[in-house]
Amino acid sequence: MEKKEQLYEGKAKKVFATDDPALVIVSYKDDATAFNGLKKGTIAGKGVINNRMSNLLMRRLEEAGVPTHFVQELSDRDTLVKKVSIVPLEVIVRNVAAGSFSKRYGVEEGVVFDAPTVEFSYKNDDLGDPLLNTSHALALKLATAEELEQIKAMALRVDELLKAAFHRMGIELVDFKLEFGRTPDGTLVLADEISPDTCRLWDEKTHEKLDKDRFRRDLGGVEDAYQEVMRRLTEDLA
């Protein structure tokens, strides 16, 4: 499958058309951004790790009955996926207080929740991806009531599966962001990626951060952290 014209370029990926109108190629970059693009940089080899990790985890989710956009890994950085129209919602699932949740509500980082929390935010960079509730999502016609219920149920199922997978690797899944897309027939599927860019991952024993927070907070060792997660995932699959 060959890349045709570029359809889109985001902060971390480019999307290319193919000969098949139902399929596109996603190409992962090493570019890194934080704080809605205010902080920019490069994480060497990030694109290769995020591509591979995302595909491995998407395949696992598919096997467990979660529909995804994944079709086939083409190379280190390129993956063939179903062409979907992205639902303009970022879905954040939190198992532990951290990041913007801690800041917003004055909760100390590391407080474990009794049950996962699900947040929606409006996927709109110009507005700073504001938080919204289901009534707002309906008023803005971002999704139907049925779709919102389905998205929440799928997000919690993904949390359950990923939590177990990362726990086997000695990693705590603190929180993560998901995006969903509609296929031409209206089916909702998990899209975007699952990686240290989109997940907060802490070592279960040391609580060392193994994700993009190392870049956001200038902690150093960003490449090492991404490689460590990939190493543990590969060992887990061996």
Q: Which residues contact 85 (CB under 8 A, 6 or more apart)?
A: 181, 182
Phi and psi (nearest 5°) for 178?
Answer: -120, 155
At the topology level of CATH, where does 85-223 sit? D-amino Acid Aminotransferase; Chain A, domain 1 (3.30.470)
For 22-73, the pLDDT digits (tens) are 999 999 999 888 887 788 999 989 999 999 999 999 999 999 999 999 999 9
Using pLDDT thresholds of 50, 70 and 90, give the confidence band for residue 87. very high
Could you give the residue range(s) of every CATH 3.30.200.20 domain in the chain?
6-82
Q: What whole-number distance in Å separates Cα of residue 192 and Cα of residue 204?
A: 26
Largest separation between any pair of C-alpha atoms in the chain: 51
Q: What whole-number distance in Å separates Cα of residue 199 and Cα of residue 173?
A: 7
Point out which residues pair with 209 in neighbouring strands: 202
What does pLDDT average to over the chain? Answer: 95
For 160-186, the pLDDT digits (tens) are 999 999 999 999 999 999 999 999 999
On whether the 6-82 domain is CATH 1.20.1050.10, my answer is no
C-beta separation of 45 from 55 below 8 A: no
Could you give the residue range(s) of every CATH 3.30.470.20 domain in the chain?
85-223
C-beta separation of 179 from 193 below 8 A: no
By CB atoms closer than 10 A (0-12, 13-18, 19+), residue 83 is: middle
Q: According to the 3-state scheme, what is the secondary structure of the chain?
A: CCCCCEEEECCCEEEEECCCCCEEEEEECCEEEECCCCEEEECCCHHHHHHHHHHHHHHHHHHCCCCECEEEECCCCEEEEECCEECCEEEEEEEECCHHHHHHHCCCCCCEEEEEEEEEEECCHHHCCCEECHHHHHHCCCCCHHHHHHHHHHHHHHHHHHHHHHHHCCEEEEEEEEEEEECCCCCEEEECCCCCCCEEEEECCCCCECCCHHHHCCCCCHHHHHHHHHHHHHHHHC
The model's pTM is 0.94
pLDDT for the residue numbered 39: 87
Q: What whole-number distance in Å separates Cα of residue 200 and Cα of residue 223?
A: 15
pLDDT for the residue numbered 238: 67
Residue 54: which of 158, 207, 157, 156 has the closest Cα? 158
Q: Which residues contact 8 (CB under 8 A, 6 or more apart)?
A: 14, 15
